[in-house]
């Protein structure tokens, strides 16, 4: 199966700043950027209002760009519990928007994305921005970092989609080994 043309929405979730991107898989490892941006919500607003603004924005993006799949960063934070909770609330809103459209969602840890894009699971924000700018052939780095991170998630999924599909097929009950024995 060819994944050329697969349209991936990459999302770097956040309540204050949420990075959104859309990229399309090309031939081989080529990826074409379609759109990138950041949704901001005012820190002083009530949580429900902020989630509504985020929901409205992601729904508009999904309607405008019609992604085939969503790649979102898995919430992983060792720091402030309230920050983790706010990000988790945002992730719920973002995943719901995809689910309402029947769009599959794949989650990636920051280190998985960093390893896929830079070859180093501990790459810093600057390294990631340089790599995503180079990979996508952009004339200038995407700003802020949330936008670059959203693009990195989309590229990561474009590159991993074929392997994920082969793995799912190999593990499916209908899949059999050529000699008729499941692996």
**First vs last C-alpha separation in the chain:** 21
**pLDDT, tens digit (0-9, with 9 covering 90-100), for 72-122:** 999 876 677 888 899 999 999 999 999 999 999 999 999 999 999 999 999
| pTM (two decimals) | 0.89
Residues with catalytic roles: 12, 73, 146
Q: State residue 10's pLDDT score.
A: 98
Provide the pLDDT for residue 1: 54
Domains and CATH numbers, the chain: 7-171 (3.30.420.10)
Residues in CB range of 161: below 8 A, 6 or more apart: 3, 6, 8, 25, 69
Tell whether 77 is in a known binding site: no
63 is in an annotated binding site: no
Q: Categorize the per-residue pLDDT at 165 as very low, low, confident or very high, splitting at 50, 70 and 90.
A: confident
What was the pLDDT predicted at 162? 77
**146 annotated as belonging to a binding site for a ligand:** yes
pLDDT digit string, tens, across residues 4-58: 899 999 999 999 999 999 999 999 899 999 999 999 999 999 999 999 999 999 9
CA dihedral 113, 114, 118, 121 (to 10 degrees): -130
CA-nearest of 7, 23, 11, 26 to 68 is 7
């Amino acid at each position: 199966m060819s994944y050329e043309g697969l349209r991936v929405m990459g999302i770097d979730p956040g309540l204050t700043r949420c990075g959104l991107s859309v990229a399309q898989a090309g031939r081989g490892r080529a990826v074409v950027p379609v759109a990138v941006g950041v949704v901001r919500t005012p820190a002083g607003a009530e949580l429900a209002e902020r989630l509504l603004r985020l929901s409205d924005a992601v729904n508009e993006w999904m309607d405008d760009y019609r992604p085939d799949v969503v790649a979102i960063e898995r919430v992983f934070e060792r720091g402030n519990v309230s920050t983790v909770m706010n990000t988790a609330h945002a992730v719920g809103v973002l995943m719901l928007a995809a689910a309402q459209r029947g769009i599959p969602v794949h989650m990636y840890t920051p280190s998985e994305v960093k390893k896929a894009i830079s070859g180093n699971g501990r790459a810093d924000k600057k390294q990631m921005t340089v790599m995503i700018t180079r990979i996508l052939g952009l004339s200038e780095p995407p700003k802020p970092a949330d936008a670059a991170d959203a693009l990195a998630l989309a590229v990561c999924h474009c590159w991993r989609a074929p392997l994920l599909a082969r793995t799912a097929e190999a593990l499916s009950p209908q899949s059999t080994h050529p000699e008729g024995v499941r692996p």
